[in-house]
C-alpha cells in the first residue's frame, strides 16, 4: 500500500507493530535516513540495537545471500520485545529476496524496514510494497519538514513545551537548512534547555541557530536602519580594523535593506515578509527587523536600495576615493534617510 507524505510523519512516530514492512525511498539520502532512524526507534525502542532486536543487512549482500533476509526476519532474540530488520541501500537486484521475505511474513516476525534511493513507478521494489496488503511504500521528497515533522523531532529530542513564536522560527529555519542540520539544531536546543521547564522561546532558537552574518556587521546594519548616527563611524572603523572591506559592507547593506523592502511590500504584512526572508532571522533580531520595515516603508526602502546600488557602482569603479570613506558616507546617508518622518 502507498503511504501518503502527509501520513508518513504520524506513522513514523507511531508505527503499527503488526505490519510486515515499510519501504522508504527518495533522492535525498539524509531525509530518508532521518525517517528511517525515527521509524526504527519507534519500532524497537531506544535499546533495540544493544539488545540485538535490530538486524542490519546491506542491500548488495542480498544478491549473494538472498536467504539471509528470511533468516533475520524469522530469528528469535534472547531479549523480549519487538524486532526489526533494516535493509539499507536496496536496489532492484534485492527485490526478489525482499518479495520472498514479505510473502512468508507471519505475526511475531521482525518488521522489515527497507531504504532505497529514487525509485520510479516501474520499480519492482515499489510494486512489491505498494501491492502488498500488509506493507507500506513511502516516497520521501525534498519538501522542507512540515509542522508535524518538526513536532516529531522535538518529541524525539525530549523537548517539552515550545512557544508559538518559537515554533514559527523553527518552521522558518526548516525552509532554510537541510533536515539533518535542523535535527542537530533541535538536539542543541534540547541540551540548551535541559533543566529549564519553561517553554522554548525565539531567544532560545536564536541562541542555537547558525548565525547568518558576523555579529559586528549585523550591529552596524541595525544601527543604520535605526538611524543611530553616532554608532556608525566607530562600528565602521572597528570592522575596517578587523579586515572587512567596503565591498563586503555594501553587500551586507544590500542584503539587509532588500529583506526589509521585501517585508514592507509583503501582502500579508512585514512579519510574514520577514518570516520568508533568506537567510532566516530569529529571536530579537526578527522583531527588530519587523519594526525597521514598518518604520521605513516601501517608498523610502526603494530609495535606500538606490543609494546602495549607486555606492556599489562607485566602489567597483576606477575612481580613487578611499573606499571605506565612500561606504561610511553612504551608510550615514541611509541613516539620515531613515530618520526622516
Same domain, 134 and 158: no
Same domain, 11 and 134: yes
**Residues 79-106, mean pLDDT to the nearest whole number:** 92
Nearest Cα to 169, choosing from 133, 195, 208?
Answer: 208
Range of the domain at 295: 215-339
Residue where a domain stops, chosen among 86, 105, 139: 139
For residue 34, the model assigns a pLDDT of: 84
Higher pLDDT, 270 or 335: 335
Residues contacting residue 116 through CB under 8 Å, at least 6 positions apart: 23, 24, 25, 32, 59, 89, 90, 91, 125
The answer, yes or no, to whether residue 83 has pLDDT greater than 90, is yes
Q: How confident is the model at residue 211 (pLDDT cuts 50, 70, 90)?
A: low
- Looking at the chain, the whole-number percentage of residues with pLDDT higher than 70 is 96
For residue 112, the model assigns a pLDDT of: 95
**Residues 220-242, mean pLDDT to the nearest whole number:** 91
- Point out the least confidently predicted range of 63-77, 139-153, 191-205: 139-153
Residue where a domain stops, chosen among 179, 208, 237: 208
The answer, yes or no, to whether residue 48 has pLDDT greater than 60, is yes
**Residues 33-48, mean pLDDT to the nearest whole number:** 89
Same domain, 228 and 259: yes
Alpha carbon 126 to chain centroid, angstroms: 27
- Point out the least confidently predicted range of 32-46, 90-104, 115-129, 139-153: 139-153
Same domain, 202 and 234: no
Beta bridge partners of 86: 56, 113
For residue 29, the model assigns a pLDDT of: 84
CATH code of the domain containing 306: 1.20.272.10
- Point out the least confidently predicted range of 46-50, 258-262, 276-280: 276-280
Same domain, 178 and 127: no
Same domain, 126 and 235: no
What is the three-class DSSP state of 130?
A: helix
Higher pLDDT, 173 or 154: 154
DSSP 213: S
Domain count, the chain: 3
- What 162-166 contacts at long range (C-beta under 8 Å, 24+ apart), as own/partner pairs, is 162/199, 162/200, 163/199, 163/200, 163/201, 163/202, 165/201, 165/202, 166/199, 166/200, 166/201, 166/202, 166/204, 166/205
Same domain, 118 and 220: no
Q: How far apart are CA 319 and CA 326, in angstroms?
A: 11
Q: How confident is the model at residue 222 (pLDDT cuts 50, 70, 90)?
A: very high
For residue 213, the model assigns a pLDDT of: 41
**Residues 104-128, mean pLDDT to the nearest whole number:** 93
Same domain, 50 and 157: no
Q: How far apart are CA 175 and CA 319, in angstroms?
A: 42
Residue where a domain stops, chosen among 208, 230, 251: 208
Same domain, 40 and 13: yes
- Supply the mean pLDDT for the chain: 87
Same domain, 17 and 94: yes
Q: How confident is the model at residue 214 (pLDDT cuts 50, 70, 90)?
A: low
Same domain, 253 and 173: no
List, for residues 287-319, the tens digit of each pLDDT value.
889 999 999 999 999 999 999 999 999 888 877
List, for residues 173-184, the tens digit of each pLDDT value.
787 677 777 888
Give the count of beta carbons closer than 10 Å to the beta carbon of residue 309.
12
**Residues 273-297, mean pLDDT to the nearest whole number:** 81
**Residues 215-242, mean pLDDT to the nearest whole number:** 90
Same domain, 168 and 103: no
Please tell me whether the overall predicted TM-score, pTM, comes out greater than 0.75 for this model: no
The answer, yes or no, to whether residue 172 has pLDDT greater than 90, is no
CATH code of the domain containing 90: 3.40.50.300
The answer, yes or no, to whether residue 13 has pLDDT greater than 50, is yes
Amino acid at each position: 500500500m502507498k503511504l501518503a507524505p502527509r501520513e508518513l510523519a504520524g506513522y513514523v512516530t507511531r508505527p503499527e507493530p503488526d505490519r510486515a514492512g515499510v519501504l522508504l525511498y527518495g533522492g535525498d539520502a539524509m531525509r530518508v535516513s532521518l525517517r528511517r532512524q525515527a521509524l526504527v526507534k519507534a519500532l524497537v525502542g531506544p535499546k533495540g540495537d544493544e539488545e540485538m532486536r535490530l538486524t542490519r543487512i546491506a542491500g548488495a549482500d542480498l544478491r549473494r545471500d538472498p536467504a539471509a533476509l528470511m533468516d533475520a526476519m524469522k530469528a528469535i532474540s534472547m531479549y523480549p520485545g519487538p524486532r526489526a530488520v533494516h535493509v539499507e541501500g536496496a536496489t532492484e537486484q534485492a527485490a526478489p529476496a525482499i518479495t520472498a521475505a514479505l510473502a512468508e511474513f507471519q505475526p511475531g516476525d521482525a518488521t522489515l524496514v527497507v531504504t532505497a534511493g529514487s525509485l520510479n513507478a516501474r520499480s519492482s521494489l515499489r510494486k512489491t510494497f505498494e501491492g502488498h496488503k500488509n506493507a507500506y511504500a513511502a516516497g520521501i521528497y525534498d519538501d522542507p519538514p512540515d509542522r508535524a515533522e518538526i513536532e516529531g523531532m522535538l518529541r524525539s529530542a525530549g523537548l517539552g513545551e515550545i512557544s508559538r513564536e518559537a515554533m514559527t522560527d523553527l518552521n522558518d529555519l526548516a525552509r532554510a537548512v537541510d533536515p539533518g542540520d535542523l535535527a542537530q539544531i533541535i538536539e542543541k536546543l534540547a541540551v540548551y534547555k535541559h533543566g529549564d521547564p519553561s517553554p522554548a522561546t525565539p531567544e532560545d532558537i536564536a541562541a542555537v541557530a547558525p548565525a547568518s552574518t558576523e555579529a559586528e556587521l549585523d550591529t552596524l546594519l541595525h544601527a543604520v536602519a535605526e538611524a543611530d548616527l553616532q554608532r556608525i563611524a566607530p562600528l565602521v572603523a572597528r570592522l575596517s580594523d578587523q579586515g572587512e572591506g567596503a565591498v563586503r559592507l555594501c553587500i551586507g547593506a544590500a542584503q539587509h535593506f532588500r529583506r526589509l523592502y521585501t517585508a514592507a511590500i509583503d501582502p500579508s504584512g512585514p512579519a510574514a515578509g520577514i518570516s520568508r526572508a533568506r537567510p532566516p532571522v530569529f529571536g530579537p533580531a526578527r522583531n527588530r527587523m519587523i519594526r525597521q520595515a514598518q518604520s521605513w516603508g516601501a517608498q523610502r526602502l526603494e530609495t535606500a536600495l538606490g543609494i546602495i546600488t549607486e555606492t556599489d557602482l562607485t566602489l567597483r569603479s576606477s575612481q580613487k576615493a578611499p573606499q571605506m570613506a565612500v561606504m561610511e558616507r553612504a551608510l550615514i546617508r541611509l541613516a539620515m534617510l531613515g530618520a526622516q518622518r
